[in-house]
Structure 1
Amino acid sequence: MKVLIMAGGYATRLWPITKGKPKPLLPVGDKYIIDYILEKTKELDLEVYVSTNKFFERHFKSWAEKNGVELIVEETISEDEKLGTIGAISYAVSKLGLDDYLIVAGDNLFSFSLEDFLKHYDGKPLIAVYDVGDFELAKRYGVVLLEGNRVIDFQEKPLQPKSTLISTGVYAFPEEIIEKVDEYLEEGNRDSPGYFIEWLLNGGVEFYAYKFDDYWYDIGSADSYLEAMRTLLKESQIGEIQISPYSKIIPPVVVKRGAKILGRSIVGPYVYIGENCVIENSDVSDSIIFDATVIRGSTIWRSIIDEKCEIRNLELKKSLVGGHAKIQRGD
């Protein structure tokens, strides 16, 4: 069996934050999203590969070298050109060869152990499922009906979900299923794992489910990104920074090296401050601030602010600010 982490999407729902950086390399606490997944693969003693695209290859190169992971790079550089997940799987298999595959979406954060997941794999397709507890929310995902642990119905993004149990982007596929990928694509079917599962079920393939509780985050929106940080950021990590004696840090936070917290500022809880940021006479909570951003005289709550921005004399709530933006309110 090989492990394939899918990290080739362009994450348009999180633009402009992800316009120039891949979503799996967004920080959650002091680690990247993909680091949490990679840590879970280490207990498996299996070869791990990351599927990405030409546009994001340079972002992943140093990370992959540091972690001893091989990249599979599809030749696409834009959202219009990209392969879908099934197309990317086909491309990866053409490079790596047929085998059983554990496939994990690279923007997935989940509570369960992959080792425990594979203990339930007996050579038949297995998917990880989670109860989102809300029919409206379930409409965004692949909805699963179970009989015991066997999948008896699967509907991708249905208008009227039959349950609130959804597929989470973790799949164990035997070699004979991987062999069907090209046939599926050649028939002109939609390039998406959910529709592939529907197609397999309609063709008589038996599917099984691994149900888990606790937490699961599909980092597809600012809200889910910030909620994931609240769940996973347990301890503060503070680099070499400058902090005023009149400022206060409320843990847990991550504050990277070179940051300056000046004047009467309050930072935290659940805050990520990137390298060389300046926070002056400002309150920042439940927010992610990327490198070299300057915030003065402002209150920031449940917001994500990209790198090299300048925010002055503002109150920002539930905001998403793209890189290099300069926003201020006059005195």
Structure 2
Amino acid sequence: MQAIILAGGYGTRLAPLTYTTPKPLLPLLNKPLIDYIINSLPKESEIIIASNYKNNKIKKYLEERGVNAILNRENKPLGTGGAVKNAEKFIDGTFLVINSDIISSLNIRKFISYHEKKKSFITISLWKVENVEEFGVVDISSDGKIKKFIEKPAREEAPSQLINAGTYCMNYEVLDYIEKGKFVSMEKEIFPRVIEEGGRFYGYLFHGYWMDVGKKESYLGATKFLLRKKSLNYLCGNNCNIEGLVKYSTIGDNCSIGKNSIVNGSIIYDNCVIGKNVEIENSIIAKNCIIKDGVNLKNVVAGEKEKIEESMENVKLWSKSLPKGYPKEQIGNPCRK
């Protein structure tokens, strides 16, 4: 079975980290996000990665890791539906579609079995939330058949607490619904049409954990969650010199942290130098940054190669020009919050 990993977005919600690194390669517990997706797939899966941003970096990583995958380039953003249609020549039957910035406990084999048991045309994964007013929820029958989607309902009007969790199992004929070469939203255009035409459209509820790591708050939250899951207070990479205190954080390779410094609830990428008496809280610091003695950082996202000499709070730090071709506004995925 083919598995299409949707990795074509710019990751604007995580800028400036994504100015230099494609979102699928951003580290989560010092391992690229896309690794979590690949490792969740059945071993016999034929992996297709739909990408249009910094393809060479993704290709290089896959080759270094020895991953047998097709990197299917999009010349322009095509949306979730357009990306699937663009991979049509590689698909020969029922297939999977997976958003690359979702980390979850979904058992893919059980998900596929459910799809087959229900003789479904499309099956989507579902996750239960409390804050229904911030998501699109499903109106679902007791047998799992989805009747419609309702976008951000008032809590008292929501037909369920179940949201689209970003993994889909689809029959080959779904491709007939998608116009080639166009930007198409699977969630806003194709799904409603299939339901309206009476197609067998089911939802598979799973339990455990689900995290959209495509924005700062959930990226940091996923880091803390996975550290707890592994019973770790922090995680440190290779060749580091840590003289300060690190808690609920990850530190990349070749980093140094000076005396009396504290890193709390943060993500530090490779090759960073953190001076003495520094405090870093709820922040993400990209590769090759230098943070001078005595600096306090809170809720900061710093891009690569920044030299930080003064304290700051609630800042996205990028002292260089916007990379050529990078959008000034978000090109969003409609299944997102």
With structure 2 as the length reference, what TM-score do the two structures score? 0.81
Q: 1:63 maps to what in 2? A: 61
Structure 1 residue 311: Cα displacement: 2.0
Q: 1:286 maps to what in 2? A: 265
Q: Does 2:108 align with 1:114?
A: yes
Structure 1 residue 132: Cα displacement: 1.6
Q: Does 2:138 align with 1:144?
A: yes
1: CA distance between counterparts of 2:138 and 2:187?
13
2: CA distance between counterparts of 1:171 and 1:278?
42
Pair 56,189 (structure 1): closer, same or farther in 2 beyond 3 Å: closer
Q: Does 2:222 align with 1:225?
A: no
Q: 2:305 maps to what in 1? A: 324
Q: Does 2:3 align with 1:3?
A: yes
Which of 276, 282, 292 is residue 254 of structure 2 equivalent to?
276
Pair 176,75 (structure 1): closer, same or farther in 2 beyond 3 Å: closer
Q: 2:71 maps to what in 1? A: 72
Moved more, 294-303 or 12-21: 294-303
Q: 2:176 maps to what in 1? A: 179
Structure 1 residue 288: Cα displacement: 0.6
Tell me which amino acid in the other structure corresponds to 2:174. I
Q: 1:91 maps to what in 2? A: 86
Pair 50,323 (structure 1): closer, same or farther in 2 beyond 3 Å: same
Structure 2 portions without partners, runs of 5+:
312-337
Q: 1:200 maps to what in 2? A: 194
Q: Does 2:249 align with 1:255?
A: no
1: CA distance between counterparts of 2:216 and 2:74?
29
Deviation sequence 1:277-305 (CA, Å, 0-9, x none): 22112101211111222222211122111
With structure 1 as the length reference, what TM-score do the two structures score? 0.83
Pair 99,158 (structure 1): closer, same or farther in 2 beyond 3 Å: same
Structure 1 residue 232: Cα displacement: 1.9
**Mapped contact 1:99–1:178 kept (Cα < 8 A):** no
2: CA distance between counterparts of 1:216 and 1:252?
21
Give RMSD over aligned pairs: 2.3
Tell me which amino acid in the other structure corresponds to 2:298. K
2: CA distance between counterparts of 1:292 and 1:127?
40
Tell me which amino acid in the other structure corresponds to 1:212. F
Tell me which amino acid in the other structure corresponds to 2:238. R
2: CA distance between counterparts of 1:223 and 1:294?
24
Structure 1 residue 217: Cα displacement: 0.7
2: CA distance between counterparts of 1:52 and 1:170?
17
**Mapped contact 2:274–2:291 kept (Cα < 8 A):** yes
Q: 2:126 maps to what in 1? A: 129
Tell me which amino acid in the other structure corresponds to 1:173. M
2: CA distance between counterparts of 1:322 and 1:228?
20
What percent identity do the matched residue pairs reach? Answer: 32
Residue 49 of structure 1: SS of its match in structure 2? strand
Structure 1 residue 257: Cα displacement: 2.0
1: CA distance between counterparts of 2:131 and 2:55?
37
Which of 175, 185, 208 is residue 191 of structure 1 equivalent to?
185
1: CA distance between counterparts of 2:111 and 2:251?
35
2: CA distance between counterparts of 1:106 and 1:205?
27
Tell me which amino acid in the other structure corresponds to 1:154. F
Deviation sequence 1:214-272 (CA, Å, 0-9, x none): 21111121111111112223448xxxxxxxxxxxxxx432222232223xx1012x322
Residues matched between the structures, number: 299
Deviation sequence 1:197-218 (CA, Å, 0-9, x none): 1222123222101001221111
Give 1:204-215 correspondences, 5 Å limit. Answer: 204-215=198-209
